Amino acid sequence: MNENGLRDLNEEIRPKPASGLDAVKAVVVVLSGKGGVGKSTVAANLAAGLAMAGRRTGLLDVDVHGPSIPRLLKLTGSRPGMDDGFMVPVDWHWNLGVMSVGFLLPGPDDAVIWRGPAKAGVIQQMAEKVAWGERDVLVVDCPPGTGDEPLSVLQIFGDKARAVIVTSPQDVALDDVRRSITFCRQLSTPVIGVVENLSGFACPSCGAVHDIFSAGGGERLAAEAGVPFLGRIPIDPEVARSGDDGDVFLAVAGQSPSAVAFKAVIASVEKALGLPAAPADKG
């Protein structure tokens, strides 16, 4: 055997470095074509809803320039532990494990000033060097758009990744969603479906939903693109209040129109992932 053959053999038998993703069954990447459509709120409620139902769930926030998850879950100032070279997720309610770029910054007002390769490296470390353990689902709050960071996210998670794309009803947001769907298809990432967020206003007194922007654009776009439509989530003052207070919306909202809409989205995601009947609804 020549030297090159010996080197190849050594590469084959050398143990591969352990990845924190090894025992994660499925990854749901929450994308948006642009910022400001409520992507992080949808990601947080999706993860919390799955955990409330007894799913072993993780939530990874790699929205590098706008990590919102610490504030949404009242975890600002938290720091991950370390165990044998792996970061340990911060434990939230219902055994939801949370990891965020925001946990690595000195303070909530500090900006991330990194070039593309550095951001890609941090995203990879936060995916693979976190001790996720056995998880049924890992929900990923991805940076908006179709640039370097979303590209890194989908490439890192590879075949495990499925996408949920969040939009608002306005045409300018819908144009960006078309690009997001094309982006996923070019990377061979299956699209679970489209969520139309901020779709109408849910009256806090009577519960009726009134359209204040155009409505139904997300559903029409999904039909045109041949991807499932997961539902409309109306604007609800309780969503904003719970986010500001760090209370996950599903846990405090009962049967409001927005809560019912979130639960329907979660059920659609569970079905798309082929998850068995939930072991328990802890909500």
Of 135, 179, 127, 130, which is closest to residue 158 (Cα–Cα)? 127
90 annotated as belonging to a binding site for a ligand: no
246 annotated as belonging to a binding site for a ligand: no
Name the token pair of 193: 């479906």
227 annotated as belonging to a binding site for a ligand: no
Of 61, 98, 65, which is closest to residue 79 (Cα–Cα)? 98
Name the token pair of 38: 């409520």
39 annotated as belonging to a binding site for a ligand: yes
207 annotated as belonging to a binding site for a ligand: no
Q: Is residue 28 within 8 Å of residue 139, measured between CB atoms?
A: yes
Counting beta carbons within 10 angstroms of the beta carbon of residue 124, is it exposed (0 to 12), middle (13 to 18) or buried (19 or more)?
A: middle
Q: Residue type for 176, please?
A: D
Residue tagged 């045109």 (tokens): 224
Q: What is the CA radius of gyration of the chain?
A: 19
Of 158, 53, 66, 176, which is closest to residue 111 (Cα–Cα)? 66
Name the token pair of 79: 């720091």
Q: Is residue 210 within 8 Å of residue 181, measured between CB atoms?
A: no
Of 148, 141, 220, which is closest to residue 177 (Cα–Cα)? 220
33 annotated as belonging to a binding site for a ligand: yes
Q: Residue type for 122, please?
A: V
Q: Per the annotation, where are the binding residues for ATP?
A: 33-40
Q: Per the annotation, where are the binding residues?
A: 33-40
